[in-house]
Chains A and B, each alone.
Chain A
Amino acid sequence: MSDEENLTRHTPLSPAALAGRLAVIGGVLFISALAFAYAGGWLTPDRLTPARMVAALSDRGGNPLGHRRNHSKGMCFTGVFDANGAASQYSVAPMLVASRYPVVGRFAIAVGNPDASDIMGRVKSMAVRIVSPNGQEWRSGMNNSPVFVVSNPRDFYELTLAQDIDPATGKPDPDAMKRFSATHPDSAPFAEWSQTAPWTASWADQAYNSLNAFLFVDAGGARHLVRWSMEPTVSPTAVPLAALASMGPDFLEHDLVRRLADGPLTWRLMVTFAEPGDPSNDATKAWPSDRKRVDVGTLIVQKAEAEADGPCRDFNYDPTILPTGIAVSDDLLLPARSVAYARSFDLRTAEAADYPRTVRPAGDRPAGDRP
């Protein structure tokens, strides 16, 4: 400390100087707190936050507490992925090297009500978690529609609001979906699939599509824009809606258990490579059907288990959890899916009491890392 400072140290500040210096301190604190509040979205209530998104998804009938807030009704499966090595020239992902890798997955229907009847599941889904020996993971959530219904999170939010249950009728507003379709023409390819694709009574006979585009990164660092699909080896059996309606609320689960009792079910993982001009960021648009497709391996589903006690229960099938060699594209849906899934996961893991396990005591569960 300098002599000069020693002299000034205890010199009293004038009231004006004291007030000014206190104001500086107050100002620093105020601006800091304001910046923090802005970063957290509290000053911009119109911001579409994960909390708002997931709250809207939670409000589509039924009681989703303890459950995923979308694709809420489903069943766990375990199996293996047999990579054939054909993708190794396009991606250094360790689970694309020819070998066998464990899989914990989930079949579901795209509803917000975990007690919905399976006939509500126009969109069926498959989620997988493929683990390499060095601990890298490839998680993917795929739907049986060839395209997604919207291309960005804002539209998905509006779609979700259109599906909200009207407390007066207990059903969604029938005009809300019409209004949504009229104002979102890019949802037309999905709508056409939804209206024309045959209904089936099985998860086993459906193809499940990544919808979003991703990048395969090869050993030389080159990037390849891809989408992928799990193609069934069971041919689909169309079932009229009236017949489905008479099959009870859980026909998908019964069908899966029945089929697996006869042996494993398989899907071929087909990777489609984009050509220049194919959209990387618009999941509502299919790529032309003549694109190069490579069969990169076989998913073998061996065993199904109820979700309440199943190994998929406590995994978040965040599609941005990717190994080296696979990266997200610029599709706006991917970051939104990641953060919204995390929000849903955070909510439901805190609500475990609302979704009790039925078979094993909590302390007796196998570690989830050992599928």
Chain B
Amino acid sequence: MRTERDGFSGLQRVLHWLMAIMVLTMLFIGVSMVSTLRPRYLTLISIHKPLGIAILALAVLRLGVRWRLGAPPLPDDLPRAQALAAKLSHVVLYALLIVMPLVGWGMLSAGGYPIVLYGSLHLPKILPHDDQLHAVLRTAHTVLAYMFFATILLHVAAALFHGLIRRDGVFRAMAAIGPRNQ
């Protein structure tokens, strides 16, 4: 049983920061590629697909790790509303990590596109070829992306609030480098 003094495990920290970089890269690539006619479009989209699948794989791994290792408890003196917001935002972030790649994969499937990861490495289609299904998923992919970015901004704001204002160890639990219980 870990106590308040424990942070997240080393594996959890590595997964968190690696995925933070990957997800932010994904969101910037996504919003950038759909707004340009320039050659970088083809480069960006060729990164977008395998990176999205990599995030999906890591997200599944991360959920498993979280299930096994749990998370350090929030400080006892944290107001209930803030504690609830923390739990809820984490649920939303985990859900988006899983749902966003699946929506993208499903959208390409329903659009009748080949799902190319690299060269001849293709993924199978997970949905039937259907224009209306494509339209719903395509819209969802955009809306969820904006929601994802907004939730990440809230998450960053909360983390900095803990780190700079409350100074209650919550930020250190994920941010500190080195062994736990330092």
Contact of A335 among B31, B42, B149 (CB under 8 A): B42
The closest CB in chain B to the CB of A347 belongs to: B135
Q: Contact size class for A? A: 35 or more
Q: Say whether B33 contacts A350, CB under 8 Å.
A: no
Q: Say whether B39 contacts A332, CB under 8 Å.
A: yes
Contacts of B160 in A (CB 8 A): 24-25, 28
* Contact flags A13-37 to B (C-beta < 8 A → 1, else 0): 1000010011011001100110110
In B21-36, the 8 Å CB interface with A consists of: 27-28, 31-36
- B73: Cβ under 8 A from any A Cβ: no
- Number of A-B residue pairs, CB cutoff 8 Å, is 136
Q: Say whether B42 contacts A338, CB under 8 Å.
A: yes
B167 to chain A, nearest CB (A): 5
**Given A39-B28, A135-B114, A135-B122, residue A349 in contact with residue B35 (CB < 8 A):** no
Contacts of B31 in A (CB 8 A): 36, 39-40
- B88: Cβ under 8 A from any A Cβ: no
With A and B bound together, what is the CA distance between A339 and B41 in angstroms?
7
Contacts of B35 in A (CB 8 A): 39-41, 47, 49-51
In A311-350, the 8 Å CB interface with B consists of: 313-316, 320-321, 323-324, 328, 330, 332, 334-336, 338-340, 343, 345-346, 348-350
**Given A13-B165, A50-B35, A335-B38, residue A28 in contact with residue B156 (CB < 8 A):** yes
Contacts of A33 in B (CB 8 A): 153
- B139: Cβ under 8 A from any A Cβ: yes
* Residue ranges of B at the interface with A (Cβ–Cβ < 8 Å): 5, 27-28, 31-42, 45, 111-114, 119-120, 122, 125, 128-132, 134-135, 138-139, 149, 153, 156-157, 160-161, 164-165, 167-169, 172, 182
27 A–B pairs (Cβ distance < 8 Å), ordered by A: A18-B165, A21-B164, A25-B161, A28-B156, A28-B157, A29-B156, A32-B156, A35-B28, A36-B149, A39-B35, A40-B35, A41-B32, A48-B37, A136-B122, A314-B130, A320-B42, A332-B38, A335-B38, A335-B39, A339-B33, A339-B36, A339-B41, A340-B37, A349-B131, A352-B131, A362-B130, A367-B128
